[in-house]
């Protein structure tokens, strides 16, 4: 199985690149952000609870997203592998993901970290806010999402670097150029697995 974590600050292009990865490698794409927005749209209890955090730019509690992620993995027993987009976002989530995969005799194959400066991130998210009207793409919420990213999520880079799984890739440039760099790194891991 090929299990890819796509990592990066809000607006770094995780969702965009995940779609390309899914198409090229035939993986199941799990975006915890998309799952939470679907719950919000369906006005479920979980969705109503999550919305309070998302509009403030805060993370939804670990136990909620970890449970949601494990359920999605269980629903896809035939998967050739997964793309984890926007998960993990805390050290506790990173440790939980390792444990969940271990239950299935699996592990993370590679962690791609998309590197983009804050100015560009803010620009991209404000533009998406104008186009799509997402409730968290406004300046105030974007600023708290970035703070949360640096305080709670970025430390995971060290966690994966220690496991020898982290690959940092520039997330600036055209979507195709960035994807070519990602595919090069993933292909290397695929080739190593075959050896
Ligand atoms: P997400 O939906 O994951 O939102 P995000 O991190 O802000 O990234 P997103 O996927 O939207 O952006 P992308 O990098 O694709 O999460 C939303 C909220 O849900 C979180 O703030 C949190 O509250 C909650 N949540 C989700 N997962 C959680 C978890 N695990 N634990 C706790 N809470 C969780 O960037 C997209 C934008 O950039 C697009 O507009 C795109 O068109 C543009 N773009 C992409 N590539 C580009 C390029 N090369 N050049 C120019 N623009 C580009």
Q: Is residue 168 part of a domain?
A: yes
Q: Is residue 194 part of a domain?
A: no
Measured between alpha carbons, how far is 35 from 195 in angstroms, rounded to an integer?
36
User: Please, which residues have CB within 8 angstroms of residue 60's CB and are 6 or more apart in sequence?
Assistant: 32, 36, 49, 50, 53, 54
pLDDT digits (tens, 9 = 90+) for 83-108: 999 999 999 999 999 999 999 999 99
Q: Is residue 193 part of a domain?
A: no
CA of 194 to the centre of ligand 1 (A): 32
φ, ψ dihedrals at 56, nearest 5° = -90, -5
CA of 96 to the centre of ligand 1 (A): 21
pLDDT digits (tens, 9 = 90+) for 117-153: 999 999 999 999 999 999 999 999 999 999 999 999 9
- Global pTM value: 0.96
Beta carbons of 109 and 6 less than 8 angstroms apart:
no
Number of domains forming the structure of the chain: 1
Supply the residues annotated as catalytic: 14, 89, 128, 134, 145
Measured between alpha carbons, how far is 114 from 6 in angstroms, rounded to an integer?
8
Q: Is residue 188 part of a domain?
A: no
- What sign for the dihedral angle of Cα 81, 82, 83, 84? negative
Q: Is the CB of 36 under 6 A from ligand 1?
A: yes
Beta carbons of 25 and 81 less than 8 angstroms apart:
yes
pLDDT digits (tens, 9 = 90+) for 146-188: 999 999 999 999 999 999 999 999 999 999 999 999 999 999 9
pLDDT above 90: residue 193: no
Half-sphere exposure of 115 (CA within 13 A, CB side): 7
Q: Is residue 195 part of a domain?
A: no
- Mean pLDDT, rounded, of the chain: 97
Q: Is residue 95 part of a domain?
A: yes
CATH number at residue 71: 3.40.50.300
Domain assignment of residue 59, given as a range: 2-183
Q: Is residue 91 part of a domain?
A: yes
């Amino acid at each position: 199985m090929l299990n890819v974590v796509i990592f990066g600050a809000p607006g770094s292009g995780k969702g965009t690149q995940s779609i390309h990865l899914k198409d090229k490698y035939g993986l199941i794409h799990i975006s915890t952000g998309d799952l939470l927005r679907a719950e919000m749209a369906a006005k479920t209890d979980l969705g109503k609870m999550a919305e309070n955090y998302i509009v403030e730019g805060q993370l939804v509690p670990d136990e909620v997203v970890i449970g949601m992620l494990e359920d999605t993995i269980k629903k896809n027993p035939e998967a050739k592998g997964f793309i984890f987009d926007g998960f993990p976002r805390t050290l506790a989530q990173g440790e939980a993901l390792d444990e969940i995969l271990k239950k299935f005799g699996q592990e993370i194959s590679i962690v791609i970290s998309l590197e983009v400066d804050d100015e560009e991130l803010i620009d991209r998210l404000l533009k998406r806010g104008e186009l799509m009207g997402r409730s968290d793409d406004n300046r105030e919420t974007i600023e708290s999402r970035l703070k949360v990213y640096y305080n709670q999520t970025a430390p995971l880079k060290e966690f994966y670097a220690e496991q020898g799984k982290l690959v940092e890739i520039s997330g600036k440039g055209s979507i195709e150029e960035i994807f070519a760099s990602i595919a090069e790194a993933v292909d290397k891991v695929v080739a190593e697995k075959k050896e």
